Structure formats: structure tokens, C-alpha cells
Amino acid sequence: MASALINVPARARRGEIIEVKTLISHPMESGHRRSQLGALIPRDIIRLFVCTYNGTEVFRAELHPAIAANPFIVFSTVATESGTIAFHWTGDNGFSVAESVAITVG
Amino acid sequence: MKRRTSRRQFLLAAGGAAAGFGLASVLHVKPARATPAAMQEAIRKVVGPARVNTGKVKLDLPPLVENGNVVPLAVSVESPMTEADHVRAIHVFTEKNPLPDVVSCRLGPRAGRASVATRIRLTDTQTVVAICELSDGSFWSGSADVVVTLAACLEDG
């Protein structure tokens, strides 16, 4: 089971730009490597990462095999209101992980 | 009367020819190095018929990479990120990886700042290109040259 690490400040001033750091454990098998027997290892990557802030999408990234294992994504967003910031990773072989963190804006 | 070429004349001529050849090969190599066809094609797919201007995009990559499996990459774009003028998308491409696409990010005025960072894989010493799409529909690009010691995609990691 994949586990995700998320780093978001717990509280922020209204209108402040906050940095969001996410890390998820995933091999990101590129589909270009071969096993010791010479067979091609099938691709198994995370294809899409979406971040929503109180239900509104604020960031989205399409990942390709050139993203290193355990995708680490950093972006920023404006702290508009208190609520939850939700993250969703989807990928090959039915991979789907959702996480969310609470933020207090005052 | 037939004149025999002296040793000095011959050396001068040979030197000149070599210099000319060298210059020609440098001039020839430069455009070929710019961007292989696969990356151009991938960029075209994203950009469409629009013109790609150079500038505004800053690509942060270490100039020398020990391990191509994990290369920190940061892209930032000069933009006020307002409703009227913001960055809509940031795309990253490589020249020599098996696939030219690396990552495509969609952002908007809610981002506050047009900067993203991640870790990528690089197979070879090459040029990495970042292209951003602004809200007015224009495209801007920035690039960085990277020397890679240990290639990704071949070794484990």
C-alpha cells in the first residue's frame, strides 16, 4: 500500500502564498527496463496528480515515465479560506490514492 | 613550367584546409545539437501552430548530475499570477530520454506563484526544455544543459 507524505502549513494568513510539498511511495516503473531474463518490465507509473482546495482544482500534473521513483511534487497555492486541501494520485494498474490535510486561514 | 609544391606551401595549404574543415564542422554541429526531432514533435503537439518565444521561464537543474535516476528539477516563470495575466501550464521535455515528455502541469491564478518542482530521470547528457503557456495564449521556453554521469533507465534505482 502506498503511503503519501504531505507538507502544508497548518495555519496561514488570508491571501498568503503557501508551498505544498507532496511525496508518495511508488516505483514509477518506466517500461523501458528489462529483467535479468531480458523480458521487458511492463510500465507501472502514476499518470495523474490532482490537488483540490475545498473542492476547487488548484493544481494538476500529468506524469510520464521520466519522473523519478517516489514522485515528489512541489507547487504553491494561495490560502483563501479554512478547509481541506485534497490530493489524488491515479496511475497504471488501478493505482489510486487520496489524501487530505486541514488548513486554518485567519 | 611545372612547379613542385614546396613542403612549406603544402603545410600551409593543409593547415588552412584543416582550419576550414574544423570551422565547418562546428557550424554544422550547432544546429544539429539544438533539438532532436522527437522532442520538437512532442513540443508541437502541446503548442500547436503557435510560436514559442524564448525567455520568462527559469529552469533550475544541477549542471552536473551524478545519478540520472533522481535529478531535482525546478521551473519558475515570471508572472504576476493574476486573473488577467497568469501561467496556464508548464511542460517539461527532454532531448534524449526514451520519451520526450517529462511532466505537464496545469495551474492558474490560485497558484499565487508560478513555480513547480519535482525529481526527474535523465538517460544522457542532454538539454532539458521547459515551455509555459500564458493566459494570453503565448508560449515561452527556457532550457538547461545537463551532464549526466550515471544514466537512468539502464541501471536499477
Domain boundaries, chain B: 1-34, 35-150
Predicted pLDDT at B1? 52
> Is residue B16 predicted with pLDDT exceeding 70?
no
> Residue B133 pLDDT > 70, yes or no?
yes
Q: Which DSSP helix (H) or strand (E) runs through B142?
A: strand B139-150
How many domains is chain A built from?
A: 1
Q: pLDDT band for B150, please (50, 70, 90 cuts).
A: confident
Domain range holding A56? 4-105
Q: Round the average pLDDT of chain A to a whole number and report it.
A: 94
Residue B110 CB coordination number (10 Å): 18
Q: Which residue has the higher pLDDT, B71 or B22?
A: B71
Summarised one tens digit per residue, pLDDT across range A21-43 is 999 999 999 998 888 898 999 99
pLDDT tens for each residue of A53-68: 999 999 999 999 999 9
What span, in angstroms and rounded, lies between the C-alpha atoms of B91 and B108? Answer: 14
Look at residue B17 and tell me whether its pLDDT is greater than 70.
Answer: no
For chain B, state the CA radius of gyration. 22
CATH number at residue A28: 2.60.40.10
For residues A79 and A18, is the Cβ–Cβ distance under 8 A?
A: yes
Q: How sure is the predictor about B14, in pLDDT bands with cuts at 50, 70 and 90?
A: low
Determine the CATH number of domain B35-150. 2.60.40.2470
CB contact under 8 A, B120 and A68: yes
> What pLDDT is stored for residue A34 in this prediction?
87
A56 has a chain B CB within 8 A of its CB: yes
| Contact predicate B114/B87, CB 8 Å | yes
Phi, psi (degrees; rounded to nearest 5) at B70: -135, 100
Return the minimum-mean-pLDDT range out of B15-19, B53-57, B97-101: B15-19
CA distance A33 to chain B (A): 6
pLDDT digits (tens, 9 = 90+) for B36-66: 788 989 999 999 998 999 999 999 999 999 9
Nearest to A63 by CA among A49, A75, A50: A49
Touching check for A98 and chain B: CB below 8 Å? no
Place of cell 570551422: B23
Chain centroid to Cα A25, Å, comes to: 10
CB contact under 8 A, A58 and B69: no
